[in-house]
Structure 1
Amino acid sequence: MDFLDGQVTVSHWLTLGFGAFLGWVLLTVFNKPSVKRFHVRPPAAADPKWTGPVLEKPSLQDPSDPSNIICYDPATGYHLGNIRAPTPAQVQLAYERTKEAQVQWAKTSFEQRRAVLRSLLAFVLENQETICRVGCRDTGKTMIDASLGEVITTCAKLRWTIDHGENVLADDYRDPGLMMMYKHAKIVYQPMGVVAALVSWNYPFHNALGPVISALMSGNGIIVKCSEYVAWSSQYYLEIVRACLAAHGHDPELVQFISGFADVGEAIVRSGVNHITFIGSPGVGKLVQRNAAEYLVPCLLELGGKDCAVLLKDADLKQAIPVLMRGVFQNCGQNCIGIERIVVAAEIYDQVVAEMQKRIGTLRQGSILADGEGVDCGAMTMGNQFEKLEGLVQEAVSRGARLLHGGKRYHHPKYPTGQYFEPTLLVDVTPDMAIANNETFAPIMVIMKHTGPEDAVRVVNACPYGLGSSVFSADKALAEKICLQLKAGMANVNDFAVNYLCQSLPFGGVGISGYGRFAGPEGLRGLCVPKALTTDRIPGVKTPIPPILDYPIKSGGKGYGFVQDLVTLIYNPEMVAKVKAGLGLAKASM
């Protein structure tokens, strides 16, 4: 190799780089693990050309038959069909089937579990358009929102779990300490058994698949309580998981998807599950926690957010504004880590407001499946929130906020029974207004003002929610400093929500956003019993009980003195004390 003044030439760097890349390609091609191919027939309504009978007054539940879930497309009002919610007895039976299947699944190797996840990833990549269409039909979202929220996130979780799951769950050896230096001390992560996930409707594919991925890798069976709002799409998504398990020769009953109302969730909690992950509102989360406490079932609660984005006066607006538009209007604002409060420096406040007003006024609404191109914002999945949203906007306006766009339900001329809320811009909002403290889960941009970093922290921390957060500034050190002062479980500098695409990071919040973490090593280990285990390290060396401490004790005083000297010898840092204690032990052992 040639060197010029001690430096490798550029040509050599290029040669080395190309060689490394070629080696990576060859390893990838020739050492690529095989996957099992399987097929799942998509529902007919996934076809964009499909139309169904239009419900005049779409409603999730039939008052004459409360156990019947009425499934419909919230963007068009098309009736998708009805699904009967299970009885408590049927929920219990589903648990028993999963419990039986989990006994065998717990015996599988990490490689067998990875193989299932690899095949699942391959299916998602090959069928992502159908997966997105099914989600769009059931929730009213756009294909872009579905791809970003359903496919990319699921692929990221699958990839990280496949690559790192075994290392995270491998036996974890710990320092036994000087007293126990002759022992191995380790933690063995054992599956809990059957875990449950009660998940929200905003991303029906990812919210259901995410807990399944972690449960399977950790050796558990799982019952997913899918929201009644997405019961139709959840059936197709369950078929995918079960077909994958069957293709690998495993019992499909290992995974259950159950849709129903509150009584179904309560039945799952009572069924015998060993852990509960709940994603939803603080009010419902408290009920889940209360019910779980009766059975001493541990809970992880992710209870939504009122995420903030702080813009300092030196923020790069060319970069920040598109990010914030996506942060607010992705999935029509129906995101737990969507941006719901933009806290802007006074120096750039008017500029930001003017740009947002111009952009929001051009947003188009409709059904991406029926209309094709020309849709920025889809429908609202829940059709019973419009009065609440309008009330929050009106309360803010009555107290001095300015409504620059939207603020009310949108009556679509083509889909009169569609569920739409106008993209909304509300500015001059203050921390004491209701809309600054209540999660809207809607396409509502709220802009607030701050007079400097300290004031920005004050404004943000006045809210009881604390899930995610963002700080935009040219001064990265200052932005990170502010991030660490915000009451939130997650933070991003010059970005929003990307912490979730970094699946090595735990996901969760503080305050009324809940507690516990999923994703990352913390989430995977959280589905296991961390069993502490010690074994003998040195052959022939075992823990002896000195005669002076053997029962029956011959002399309590001498025995206590022996233990006292032992503690001093091991833990006292003073050498004189150690020597004195050692002599005492030697004398007592004679």
Structure 2
Amino acid sequence: MDNLFDINVNLIVIVASISTVAVTIASYAALRLILEKPPARFHVQVPPEAKPDWKATTTISNPSIRDPNDPTVIICYDPATGKYLSTVKAHTAVDVTEAISRARIAQKSWEKTSFAERKRVLNSLLNYIIEYQEEICWVTCRDSGKTMVDAMLGEILSTCERIRWTIKNGEKALATEFFDPGPLLPYKIAKIEYQPLGVVAALVSWNYPFHNLFGQIISALFAGNGILVKASEQVAWSVDYFSRIMKTCLNACGHDPEIVQFLCGYADCGEAIVRSGVDGITFVGSPQVGKQVMKTASDSLTPCILELGGKDAAILREDANLDQAIPIIMRGTFQNTGQNCVGIERVLVHEKLYDEFVRRVKEKITGDKLRVGCSLEEGEGKVDVGALTMSGQASRLENLINDSVSQGAKLVIGGKSYTHPIYPSGQYFTPTLLVDVTPSMPISQHEVFAPIMTVMKFQTDEEAIEMCNGCPYGLGNSVFTRDQAKGNQMAKRLKSGMVNVNDFAVAYICNLPFGGVGISGFGRFGGREGLRAMCLAKSVTLDRFPLIVKTTIPTVVDYPMHARGTTFVENLVRVIYKNDILERIKGGLALAREFMGR
């Protein structure tokens, strides 16, 4: 009975202890919730030109961002309609110098903020994006010519996911990491601390005006950096609105809005940023400009992350499910008018599926099934493909297509610019289907960034891999198959930074590191690796028992050098690394004799 009584008492004590711990944890969590400030609410007025019912006073017949009479300004217009929006100043080297000075001052305070404070800024921004997502899409559509659906997917959803992941996982990703110091130094603490670089810069492309800016800002700020972010001159009009969103958010949360500096200018502005003395550079653009960024950055050895576009392939194996694959390939090709660095630009189809695939995608594209226009003004569900953001692209695309046809490719649909009956000044290109393309044709080697589906035939997996890897780009690829093991095997052999089996581009939404190989660049942004790329990974060692054990240099290897120094180190290596136990014992005895002075 006494034993039973003791067991019961012990159980009560254990349960009480567990309850106490649970209550303590719950109390701490509740207290933290009480003490943490809620997200700040704020509002930024949307530009009137962004609204669907806006009536323009001027339409440009041959739109261009350049003013031949004034190279210091950027002409802003809607690529889908040609409607004039405004003329803004192109930032110069002087503006860059002032911007980095302001950011460095603000960063001194910002790097001292807690992760809780940084999360509050991101939560406040997230709430604003969700509440005003339609207005944000209006602005991006007006400035880039994309459709509302593409804006919702590429600007809103992707940005919200980046913020969600950073709030949930960012602190853990940047937490100090501890490592095994090894058998030589067991009395040491070995760790990596992730510290902010300082003030970084991001020079981003125009295809996603909102997300490309804010994706970089989110990571830079959470890591404790200030940031100079340069928008492309192709989408200069939206910069003011996006700048006001970020700066108003920071101000509402009680932080210096100068921690983020928005810039927009021509090549001289970008070069000035690279030369400004920033502590890290992320560039998103073409390989040609990326090489110039890297060359200029090398003068100061400023680290660079270069994301330089892609020529992504989708491989449809013999066992691919066309019902599942075709809708994904259609979106991968025509989403954002094909202006995606990870868009599907090459479709490699097994010969047994080839004819059926071509027939089915032709049916989806033919006639008015893919409607081209301005969804912002024509209304939801009436437009599938928007405008090309950059002017003067039609002739380049037509030349690539005509050259392919002359070499044996077949143009099934499209292949030329499109004059819209309502918006004759809009920059449109007809959705295009080009089949029987071969790897030797220029269109299979150069990024088109347009609504053009190029289809290629293969016979074996090996041939498909060779065709895919035979391109200088290596950003992302897709493999469609019912055999996941085979798909995974092919993924391992494809030379690219990302591979998606039975999907396209979702590695980005999964917050995996984003980047490529070859002329697609190097370095990664997004996810844990991207967040850490915004930091200095500083290696630090400490004494585990500072009052008891510290490193001392044995007399035999101290200066001046001892005659038996080499023998001592040789035996030390034998003791620690030799697999033969007898040899380790012999080495240990030899070391002991050295310590005893024999």
TM-score where L is the length of structure 1: 0.93
Give per-residue Cα distances to partners, 1:69-125, cap 9 Å, x unaligned.
000000011111011112211111100100111111111111111111111111111
Select 1:363's aligned residue among 365, 370, 376.
370
User: What residue is the counterpart of 2:9 in the other structure?
Assistant: none
* 1:436 partner letter: S
User: What residue is the counterpart of 2:533 in the other structure?
Assistant: 526
Select 1:94's aligned residue among 75, 78, 99.
99
User: What residue is the counterpart of 2:578 in the other structure?
Assistant: 572
Equivalence map 1:259-338=2 (5 Å): 259-338=264-343
1:215 paired to 2:215: no
* 1:506 partner letter: P
Q: Does the CA-based 8 Å contact 1:306-1:439 persist in structure 2?
A: yes
Stretches of structure 1 that go unaligned for 5 or more consecutive residues are 1-22
User: What residue is the counterpart of 1:20 in the other structure?
Assistant: none
Query: How far off is 1:316 after superposition?
Result: 1.1
User: What residue is the counterpart of 1:466 in the other structure?
Assistant: 474
Whole-angstrom distance in 1 between the partners of 2:102 and 2:37: 31
Whole-angstrom distance in 1 between the partners of 2:37 and 2:581: 58
Equivalence map 1:70-469=2 (5 Å): 70-361=75-366, 362-373=369-380, 374-469=382-477
Whole-angstrom distance in 2 between the partners of 1:270 and 1:418: 37
* 1:588 partner letter: E
User: What residue is the counterpart of 2:593 in the other structure?
Assistant: 587
* 1:583 partner letter: L
Secondary structure of 1:557's counterpart equals coil
Secondary structure of 2:498's counterpart equals coil
Q: Does the CA-based 8 Å contact 1:470-1:492 persist in structure 2?
A: yes
User: What residue is the counterpart of 2:568 in the other structure?
Assistant: 562
Query: How far off is 1:221 after superposition?
Result: 0.5
User: What residue is the counterpart of 2:39 in the other structure?
Assistant: 35
Whole-angstrom distance in 1 between the partners of 2:356 and 2:143: 38
Query: How far off is 1:33 after superposition?
Result: 7.2
Q: Does the CA-based 8 Å contact 2:93-2:269 persist in structure 1?
A: yes
Whole-angstrom distance in 2 between the partners of 1:378 and 1:191: 40
* 2:574 partner letter: T
Distance change (3 Å), C-alpha of 1:403 and 1:215: same
Secondary structure of 1:65's counterpart equals coil
* 1:60 partner letter: I
Q: Does the CA-based 8 Å contact 1:61-1:67 persist in structure 2?
A: no
Query: How far off is 1:586 after superposition?
Result: 2.1
Whole-angstrom distance in 2 between the partners of 1:460 and 1:564: 51
* 2:434 partner letter: L
1:495 paired to 2:503: yes
Query: How far off is 1:515 after superposition?
Result: 0.8
Query: How far off is 1:483 after superposition?
Result: 1.6
Whole-angstrom distance in 1 between the partners of 2:558 and 2:474: 55
Whole-angstrom distance in 2 between the partners of 1:51 and 1:335: 30
Q: Does the CA-based 8 Å contact 2:92-2:265 persist in structure 1?
A: no
Equivalence map 1:540-551=2 (5 Å): 540-551=548-559
Whole-angstrom distance in 2 between the partners of 1:564 and 1:491: 47
Equivalence map 1:2-81=2 (5 Å): 34-52=38-56, 53-81=58-86
Whole-angstrom distance in 2 between the partners of 1:363 and 1:265: 37
1:512 paired to 2:516: no
Secondary structure of 2:457's counterpart equals strand
Whole-angstrom distance in 2 between the partners of 1:179 and 1:309: 50
Whole-angstrom distance in 2 between the partners of 1:270 and 1:286: 15
* 2:555 partner letter: P
User: What residue is the counterpart of 1:482 in the other structure?
Assistant: 490
Query: How far off is 1:552 after superposition?
Result: 3.8
Whole-angstrom distance in 1 between the partners of 2:498 and 2:55: 42
Query: How far off is 1:457 after superposition?
Result: 1.0
Query: How far off is 1:387 after superposition?
Result: 0.8
Query: How far off is 1:579 after superposition?
Result: 1.9
User: What residue is the counterpart of 1:12 in the other structure?
Assistant: none
Identity %: 55
Secondary structure of 2:71's counterpart equals strand
* 2:496 partner letter: A
Secondary structure of 1:177's counterpart equals coil
Count of matched residue positions in the alignment of Structure 1 and Structure 2:
561
Give per-residue Cα distances to partners, 1:530-574, cap 9 Å, x unaligned.
110000112421112223333344xx2123322332222222222
Q: Does the CA-based 8 Å contact 2:247-2:260 persist in structure 1?
A: yes
TM-score where L is the length of structure 2: 0.92
User: What residue is the counterpart of 2:18 in the other structure?
Assistant: none
Whole-angstrom distance in 2 between the partners of 1:51 and 1:311: 46
Stretches of structure 2 that go unaligned for 5 or more consecutive residues are 1-25
Query: How far off is 1:460 after superposition?
Result: 1.1
Whole-angstrom distance in 2 between the partners of 1:247 and 1:33: 12
CA RMSD of aligned residues (A): 1.6
